[in-house]
Amino acid sequence: MNLSFWSDEDRLFVPRLLGWSINFKFIAKKLGWIKTPSPAAPQESVEAAPSGETREARLRRAVERSRSEDR
10 contacts 26 by C-beta, under 8 angstroms: yes
The residue with greater pLDDT, 65 or 38, is 65
In degrees rounded to 5, what are phi and psi of residue 19? Answer: 125, -140
Confidence of residue 31 (pLDDT cuts 50, 70, 90): very high
Instruction: Please choose, from the candidates 10, 40, 15, the residue with its C-alpha nearest in 3D space to the C-alpha of residue 25.
Output: 10
Residue 70's pLDDT is what? Answer: 56
Confidence of residue 52 (pLDDT cuts 50, 70, 90): confident
pTM of the predicted model over 0.75: no
* DSSP conformation class of 7: -
